[in-house]
Amino acid sequence: HKLPIRFTSPRFSLPSFSIRAMTSHSHIVGYPRIGPKRELKFALESFWEGKSKAEDLKQVGADIRTSIWKQMAEVGIKFIPSNTFSYYDHVLDTTAMLGAVPPRYGWNGGEVGFDIYFSMARGNDSVPAMEMTKWFDTNYHYIVPELGPDIKFSYASHKAVEEYKEAKALGIDTVPVLIGPLSYILLSKAAKDVDKSFSLLSLIEKIVPVYKEVVAELKAAGATWIQFDEPSLVMDLDTLQLQTFTKAYSELESSFSGLNVLIETYFADVPIQTYKALTSLKSVAGFGFDLVRGTRTLNLLKSGFPPDKYLFAGVVDGRNVWANDLAASLCILQVLEGIVGKENVVVSTSCSLLHSAVDLVNETKLDKEIKSWLAFAAQKVVEVNALAKALVGQKDQAFFASNATSHASRRSSPRVKNESVQKAVAALKDSDHRRATSVSARLAAQQKKLNLPILPTTTIGSFPQTPELRKLRHVYKAKKINEYDYVNAMKEEIKKIIKLQEEIGIDVLVHGEPERNDMVEYFGEQLSGFAFSVNGWVQSYGSRCVKPPIIYGDVSRLRAMTVFTSSTAQSMTRRPMKGMLTGPVTILNWSFLRNDQERHETCYQIALAIKDEVEDLERAGISIIQIDEAALREGLPLRKSEQPFYLEWAVQSFRITNCGVKDTTQIHTHMCYSNFNDIINAIINMDADVITIENSRSDEKLLSVFQEGVKYEAGIGPGVYDIHSPRVPSTEEIADRINKMLAVLDCKVLWVNPDCGLKTRKYSEVESALRNMVAAAKLIRTKL
């Protein structure tokens, strides 16, 4: 199945590398790799299930790459990226390139193939996967390199060169993209059991020679530009890190002759010291900056920019789906021309388009007016090109005019503004929104009512999403069955899930979330101010994609959203049933945000809607309510100076949702995939009664915070097994983990639960794993 290749722009211009003046300079940092209809996802999953061969998967990959390159060439983009495609993750690709395969995967040298590659990504029958964590402040997850002092780097994946040649064979000269050595090291962690004195930074010297080999081979293949992504440069780097950066590039320099090198940064502006170090690199031809999130980038550039270097100006937002305000961008670009010289400005995206949706063309169901306000990756490519053309006097007047019209319609649309919501948010300012009683007193009151055993067992919410369930929701949405039949089928499913939990012996039950396609979409669909795409998928990790709702207007709750389901579920069991909600910060962080309003304003609006739901659930007799804040940490600004403000409004938003409930109502929250140690105070400040938290894939890092004596009085359930792997953990293994937790946590606060929801697993795996989990909890109870 070949991907359709579209002609997005009526004018056909071949990319030219030779003439500097009068040709437009346009550049794309990176592009989504899943395909416009998630072709890569389906190819990967079919390969993993043994339903297709490696060749089939490779063919789908090649088709996706070809289609992207041709599309950009046809639009007229001058600097087209290659090696931004990946079968799983670009950091893992770099690990493969550097031959940094952890010993446990039994790699014997040679080119890293699919077997080793996917074992690192997903684990296999005998070895667990490598750790996965968030890519900066996005919802993309990368595989964390594990490096030790004895590691021997070697050039073990020639993917960058192969992709460059592949594009070249199509007649397209691309810019190969590599993760730069500093960012690679800073994104890594020290391997297990490595001496504490070991410094990851010291490995730079060892990886630079491999980078040199890669650069040399790219040059030999004909590459004239190479892009090094160094997003870590936007972080607060210390002196040693910065020195290491300068040293690495001065060592790499010798391989740069005859080549143009671009160092690309994104997700924020770079701190001033870093900016100075970066822009004083003599052998580099261009520097890329984020002008959307990097609010101070313009000032940095005004403070000085080296003559005769290219400025890759990221003015088209790679993290959003809104049409660029072309007139505004053009003004900024003209200011930039004034600073760095007319010929040195290259129009670019703020970061890789990986974080946007793929192509608006496939959105057939979106409201026409809202659609006119949007631009997905394919449209952003066209915007970048239009801006670059306009800069050299070839402004497409019609394109700019229709863009201006859509911006005017968005600014004045009545569907964007809801005055009563704005009033309610303004009125929030007068209180701290905190429950009146202390958490220990509340827990005592709750225990009286709930009478739970010590080490209570629970799950995070979702149960397996079977093909039958998906089909059921699908036919209901397509109005092929009526509401009555749908509700009955859902009730049957919930009954089954409850029976299973009772039979396994779980203490606090969930209804399993069978009615939810996605924890954010489900709520967004019932709130006003949200729009939904059909194919607006964004890669989260590997083959997993999310389809973030688009928040376009003020948010309000139209009616109760979960009360019927939760109370129906509660009526089927005597055990406590958790009401299950997604928290405001997570709804916010997992949606495409408005860019016409501060994000905390939007968050407060969502908090008020969820608050109404929490109070309705309580009134309906639900005594445990879980408000998931899976993505709380995700929204944390990258720079320390901006973090306190975020944490203040995010934590406050969470408290707004539940500050009005009785002491006897137990509020849970859940968070996944994070390192929380640095924000533990904010987490305590959320004032939840119980928190369940991802843990098993991060080497119990989480627990160290309690060793350090943080005063934590609420209930806590660090996940006892990894739900992202099909592996079933044994009772002993789980018991072992619980014991480790008991070494640092009081048994009275400890809960026993998996890492996260079970929706991606199969029933066979879930049943055995939960049985072992309950057995482990029971075993330890007898010993306490």
Residues of this chain that interact with ligand GLN (CB under 6 A) are 460-462, 513, 519, 580, 628, 630, 670, 672, 756-757, 759
Q: What are phi and psi of 138, to 5 degrees?
A: -105, 180
Residue 777 binds: one of Zn ion, ligand GLN, none (C-beta under 5 to 8 A by kind)? none
> Are the beta carbons of 653 and 604 closer than 8 angstroms?
yes
User: Nearest distance from residue 631's CB to Zn ion, in Å?
Assistant: 9
Q: Give the CB-side neighbour count of residue 470, counting CA atoms within 13 A.
A: 7
Residues at the site binding Zn ion, with contacts judged by CB under 5 A: 630, 672, 756
Residue 70 binds: one of Zn ion, ligand GLN, none (C-beta under 5 to 8 A by kind)? none
Could you give the CA distance from residue 29 to residue 175 in angstroms, rounded to a whole number?
A: 10
For 154-193, b where at least 16 C-beta lie within 10 A, e where not — what string?
A: ebbbbbbbebbbbbbeeebbbbbbbbbbbbbbbbbbbbee
User: Nearest distance from residue 541's CB to Zn ion, in Å?
Assistant: 13
Radius of gyration of the chain (CA): 26
Question: 493 vs 513, which CB is nearer to ligand GLN?
Answer: 513
Q: What is the DSSP letter of 510?
A: -
Q: What is the DSSP letter of 16?
A: -
User: Nearest distance from residue 658's CB to ligand GLN, in Å?
Assistant: 16
User: Nearest distance from residue 723's CB to Zn ion, in Å?
Assistant: 8
Residue 580 binds: one of ligand GLN, Zn ion, none (C-beta under 5 to 8 A by kind)? ligand GLN
Number of residues written out for the chain: 784
User: Nearest distance from residue 735's CB to ligand GLN, in Å?
Assistant: 23
Could you give the CA distance from residue 451 to residue 86 in angstroms, rounded to a whole number?
A: 50
User: Nearest distance from residue 757's CB to ligand GLN, in Å?
Assistant: 2
Our CA dihedral for 595, 600, 601, 604, rounded to 10 degrees, sits at 140
Question: 158 vs 759, which CB is nearer to Zn ion?
Answer: 759
Could you give the CA distance from residue 636 to residue 628 in angstroms, rounded to a whole number?
A: 17
Catalytic residue list? 724
Residue 628 binds: one of Zn ion, ligand GLN, none (C-beta under 5 to 8 A by kind)? ligand GLN
Question: 372 vs 675, which CB is nearer to ligand GLN?
Answer: 675
Q: Which residue is nearest to ligand GLN (CB)?
A: 757
Could you give the CA distance from residue 147 to residue 144 in angstroms, rounded to a whole number?
A: 9
Tokens describing residue 34 = 């899943």
Q: Which residue is nearest to Zn ion (CB)?
A: 672
- 447 Cβ partners below 8 Å, 6+ apart? none
Residue 230 binds: one of ligand GLN, Zn ion, none (C-beta under 5 to 8 A by kind)? none
- Which secondary-structure segment (H or E) carries 48? helix 39-48
Question: 577 vs 631, which CB is nearer to Zn ion?
Answer: 631
Tokens describing residue 319 = 């993290």
> How many CB atoms are located within 10 Å of the residue 17 CB?
12
Cα–Cα distances (Å) from 122 to 89, 514, 581, in that order, read 12, 25, 29
Could you give the CA distance from residue 376 to residue 320 in angstroms, rounded to a whole number?
A: 8
The one-letter amino acid at 470: R
Question: 58 vs 544, which CB is nearer to ligand GLN?
Answer: 544
Question: 340 vs 631, which CB is nearer to ligand GLN?
Answer: 631
Calculate helix-pair angle for 114-122, 90-97, nearest 10 degrees. Answer: 130
Question: 323 vs 580, which CB is nearer to ligand GLN?
Answer: 580
User: Nearest distance from residue 476's CB to ligand GLN, in Å?
Assistant: 20
Tokens describing residue 523 = 């709520």
Question: 524 vs 719, which CB is nearer to Zn ion?
Answer: 719
Could you give the CA distance from residue 11 to residue 617 in angstroms, rounded to a whole number?
A: 57
Q: What is the DSSP letter of 760?
A: T
User: Nearest distance from residue 694's CB to Zn ion, in Å?
Assistant: 6
User: Nearest distance from residue 631's CB to ligand GLN, in Å?
Assistant: 8
Tokens describing residue 384 = 């970048």
- 192 Cβ partners below 8 Å, 6+ apart? 146, 699
> How many CB atoms are located within 10 Å of the residue 427 CB?
10
> Are the beta carbons of 537 and 551 closer than 8 angstroms?
no
> Are the beta carbons of 556 and 419 closer than 8 angstroms?
no
> How many CB atoms are located within 10 Å of the residue 409 CB?
14
Question: 74 vs 722, which CB is nearer to ligand GLN?
Answer: 722
User: Nearest distance from residue 609's CB to Zn ion, in Å?
Assistant: 22
Question: 15 vs 464, which CB is nearer to ligand GLN?
Answer: 464
Residue 462 binds: one of ligand GLN, Zn ion, none (C-beta under 5 to 8 A by kind)? ligand GLN
Tokens describing residue 49 = 């299930």
